[in-house]
Amino acid sequence: MRISVTQSPLILSLLAFVSWGDIVTAQPSPLALLCPGDCDVDGAVTVDEIVRAADIFVGTLPLAVCPAADTNDDTFVRIGDIFIAVTTAGDACPPAATVPPPPTADTVSVTVGALTAAAGSRVDVPVSLSTGGHDVVAVQNFVGFDATLPIAARADGTPDCTINPAIGIESAVSKSAFFTFQPPECVGTTCKAVLAFVIGLPSVTAIPDGAVLYTCSVDVPADAAAGDHALRARGISASDPGANILVSGGSDGTVTVRACTSLPTPELSVSLALDPPNPRVGDVVDLVFTAFGSGGSPTFSLSVNDPILTELSGPLEPSPAFGTVTYRARATLAGTTTATLSAMYEAAFGCAEAPVYSFITQSSPPISITVLPPLPTCVGDCTREHDVRPADLIAMLRTALAGAPPTDCAAGDANLDETIRIDEILLAVNNAFGGCP
């Protein structure tokens, strides 16, 4: 396929490592080939040939596969070489004499942004362009960083950097090729920089002055030292649509880390009240916990060690939350047992300025619960107060006359036959006057 400058913008994003002291860009030369980038010397440059030049640039192919990519015979393929090849692309290669002379040396500048961040957070640092009055269609730069405050990596290991879509740049190779960690094949703390390199065809609209070129995410460790951390702008090169290399410079950026205010260790606080306060065998007991944790969205569970309490159910609240949490059980045996309330909830860790949330499970210390023996049987003691009152006798009479089960006065059914008889009423009257045994 031939490249025509009248086609839609084609953007190549190329990456390579160059040491800080050896960043050199090629200038168009009068001795340049009449058709720079024409690997097969057929009088035209194809997309495949430009991609081949890009592969030589990044070091994945040797120069021998396309000597025409080296436009100034310096045995290297550099940004200027690729631009010359791109600008000569078409159905027929123009002569080298048509390459315009370099413009005046007004400086193009790349500026890395300055941000403030909390320890333990991630921030997006912008990298902006000042065009110096030129029509800039391509920019290369390094962003150097320290291992203590690195540019983040994506899941595939490439830098977490994103080109600003507003400047109309897309990739004709692959989006992962826009940025690369340097030096080549570095991993983790061995990486010292990110190299960004974006090239556009002459038909691309010039990047606006002051535009954000791209952003890179920076991880701020939870233990990062407070203060300024530099992001260094280095190795800057820019070109106009005529493949002229523009005089370029840059300004370093900073991430200012705020001091970390450490969050306290999450704690679960639990207390218990019983209803009735002194349960006896046979009572239905409400275990009313007051629980507070250092977080939210709790899920509760209760464990009781001995079969002193049975038929355990709860929490009884429709939407349990920190505060009051109620369980219900039946006191089955006399004795002392322990209950432990556990809560799984979301707690905050790290710095108050950028907390990290995680679910944890914490438990209360064992809480003692004592169940008393039942009171001696006292027929007619409907309220279990060891005393038969007139209201108890009236309740027994009403139940007997109605022939109903003694639900309102279980103590009136001395023989447990689910009815109240005249002899049981007489026993209750005796207990009312003579006291319960």
pLDDT along the chain (437 residues), means of 10: 29 31 31 59 76 82 79 74 73 44 63 88 91 85 87 91 74 48 81 79 68 90 85 85 81 88 88 92 92 88 90 88 92 93 91 83 94 80 85 88 85 82 88 84
DSSP 188: G
Cis peptide before 406 (omega within 30 of 0): no
Closest CA to 143 of 190, 182, 115: 182
CA separation for the pair 320, 240 (Å, rounded): 66
Place of tokens 């005393």: 387
Distance of CA 187 to the CA centre of its chain: 22
Q: Are 71 and 36 in contact (CB under 8 A)?
A: yes
Cis peptide before 28 (omega within 30 of 0): no
Q: Is the dihedral of CA 28, 32, 38, 42 positive or negative?
A: positive
Task: Return the pLDDT at 364.
Answer: 93
Beta strands per DSSP E along 190-262: 193-200, 212-219, 227-239, 245-246, 248-251, 253-258
Work out the widest C-alpha separation in the chain, in whole angstroms: 130
CA separation for the pair 246, 109 (Å, rounded): 10
Q: Are 272 and 326 in contact (CB under 8 A)?
A: no
Task: Return the pLDDT at 224.
Answer: 83
Task: Return the pLDDT at 117.
Answer: 87
Domains (ranges, CATH) in the chain?
Answer: 11-98 (no CATH), 108-258 (2.60.40.680), 268-371 (2.60.40), 390-434 (no CATH)
Q: Which tokens in the block code for residue 364?
A: 């209360």
The dihedral over CA atoms of 129, 139, 212, 8, expressed in degrees to the nearest 10, equals 130
CA separation for the pair 233, 236 (Å, rounded): 7
Task: Return the pLDDT at 45.
Answer: 80
| 3-state DSSP assignment of residue 281 | coil
Burial class (CB in 10 A: 0-12, 13-18, 19+), 102: middle
Q: Are 21 and 73 in contact (CB under 8 A)?
A: no
Task: Return the pLDDT at 202.
Answer: 41
CA angle, residues 139, 141, 142, in degrees to nearest 5: 165
